[in-house]
Amino acid sequence: MHPIIIFVFSLLIILFLTARLRIHPFLGLILTSVITGVLAGEATGTIEAITSGMGKVFSNFAIIIAAGSIIGLILHRTGGARLIASDVIRISRKPLFGLNILGFIFAVPLMCCILAYVIFVPVAREIKLKEGVPKVLTASVLVFGTLASYNLVYPSPVVYSAVSELGINNSDILIPGMIIAFIVSIAGYLYALKFCNAGDMSSFIIDTETENEDIKLPGRIAAYSPITIPVALILADVFTNIALFDIMGEPDMALLIGVVMAIFFAYRQYTFNSVREWVEKAIKRSGVVILDMCGGGALGATLAMTGVGQEMGTLLSGLPLPAILVPFLIAVAIQSVQGSRVVTMLVAPSIVIPLVPFLGLPPEIVLFSMASGTFLISHFNDPFFWIYKDLAELETSEVLRSYTLGGVVMGITSLMLTGVAYLLFY
């Protein structure tokens, strides 16, 4: 069967299983992965691809998600998240916009849009409670902020990998990338206000108990330390060459340090049994998120095995399209197939670079065109899709409407801004 037909069929299967039959996403993703491998004629290698894809995602995200879940639940139970949300609301006239900017600012320093989302989900939850808006709205404005900067601003891993491949000077893309990303973040914010402002009014997954409005709020050191210390350690690792930060600033280790700090401050106010119960509950919840992510990794691995990414790249490069669309659509094809933005920007240049002389585009425009393509089409094989869904406890249809379609809007906005930059400055 042709790889592109397999790709489309796989998307239809997972949509039918999760949205129509409401089968658990993990089972739906694994079943679809098996079917995809068999249709590709790789039955013997399917299980190996599935376990390899799952293992890669687990090793990259398991500790981050579990640690973030623990920090989030403790901050919620102790009132720390409520204090941070109150500060955001007090400082910003528009708390939702402030939440969007939080995600935008921290995604690149943390070197992970997922990590930025996980860290600030407790704050999003508290803003949702205080503002009385649907949870899909607060979750989406945060996630769009993280995506905008992570996909477009140097030295994000998404951009960094393509800079050397295209022979671009860092200074030539830093400021333009920040400008484009900021406008794209606002576009995502406006999309969320318009199209994500309706839905379930219940709270995020980290909340299952009755709200205690009389809870004694912790001090700001106790509230902010479990978040700011890990961020500071990761930034120190990025911007210094001190050996200590090579260990302490590694995201897994930094988040574990945040967990220790959250537990330490919680013990000063609550009993040992209460804190232990919160930690156990957070770990159980994070397991659901991690399994869904692993399922996405399995699907991405089996789709890559079909060769559909190369097939789409070859097809698009041969079509009579405007030059600026070719890098964009090749990146879209690869992103749609395997789900990782970093992998997309590692693979896409190998297809696009031989075409650059024929496209006649400056390398900076080629880069931003490809980076714009990483916003779409994000769906079931994207680990962030499932983290966003599970931590905000959304329906699959809500995630498609907000995360997937919002990404399309942001990607097209980014491409249009890239085109404007090309016309004005090149």
In single-letter form, the type of residue at position 64 comes to I
Q: Please give the average per-residue pLDDT across 42-52, as a whole number.
A: 89
Q: How far is CA 402 from the centre of its chain?
A: 13
Q: Which residue has the higher pLDDT, 294 or 203?
A: 294
Q: Which residue has the higher pLDDT, 363 or 155?
A: 363
pLDDT at 208: 41
Q: Please give the average per-residue pLDDT across 219-244, as a whole number.
A: 86
In whole angstroms, what is the distance from residue 394 CA to residue 388 CA? 8
Lowest-confidence segment of 15-24, 25-34, 64-73, 309-318 by average pLDDT: 309-318
For residue 215, pLDDT over 80 is answered with no
pLDDT at 202: 61
pLDDT at 364: 94
Q: How far is CA 59 from the centre of its chain?
A: 16
For residue 176, pLDDT over 80 is answered with yes
Q: Which of 28-37, 107-116, 141-150, 307-316 has the highest mean pLDDT?
A: 141-150
Match 């790889």 to its residue by tokens. 3
Q: Which residue has the higher pLDDT, 275 or 295?
A: 275
Produce one character per residue of 343-381: b if its CB has 16 or more CB atoms within 10 Å, e if not: bbbbbbbebbbebbeebebbbbbbbbbbbbbbbbbbbbb
Residue 15 tokens, joined: 């949509």
Q: Please give the average per-residue pLDDT across 313-322, as a whole number.
A: 76
pLDDT confidence band for 76 (50 / 70 / 90): confident
pLDDT tens string 150-170: 999 887 878 876 887 788 887
In single-letter form, the type of residue at position 281 comes to K
Q: How far is CA 79 from the centre of its chain?
A: 26
In whole angstroms, what is the distance from residue 223 CA to residue 79 CA? 8
In whole angstroms, what is the distance from residue 131 CA to residue 208 CA? 19
For residue 303, pLDDT over 90 is answered with no
pLDDT tens string 181-194: 999 999 999 999 99
For residue 264, pLDDT over 70 is answered with yes
Lowest-confidence segment of 8-22, 184-198, 265-279 by average pLDDT: 8-22
Q: Please give the average per-residue pLDDT across 26-45, as a whole number.
A: 88
- Per the structure, the complete domain to which residue 277 belongs is given by 3-425
pLDDT at 209: 47
Where do the H-state alpha helices sit in 132-219?
135-152, 157-166, 170-195
pLDDT at 344: 80
In whole angstroms, what is the distance from residue 29 CA to residue 296 CA? 6
Q: Please give the average per-residue pLDDT across 192-203, as a whole number.
A: 77
In whole angstroms, what is the distance from residue 402 CA to residue 412 CA? 15
Q: Please give the average per-residue pLDDT across 280-293, as a whole number.
A: 83
pLDDT at 109: 64
In whole angstroms, what is the distance from residue 324 CA to residue 326 CA? 6
For residue 354, pLDDT over 70 is answered with yes
For residue 313, pLDDT over 80 is answered with no
Three-class SS state of 372: helix
In whole angstroms, what is the distance from residue 9 CA to residue 39 CA? 10
Torsion angle of C-alpha atoms 177, 102, 386, 180, degrees rounded to 10: -20
For residue 309, pLDDT over 70 is answered with no
pLDDT at 205: 53
Torsion angle of C-alpha atoms 177, 178, 182, 187, degrees rounded to 10: 0
Q: Count of domains in the chain? A: 1
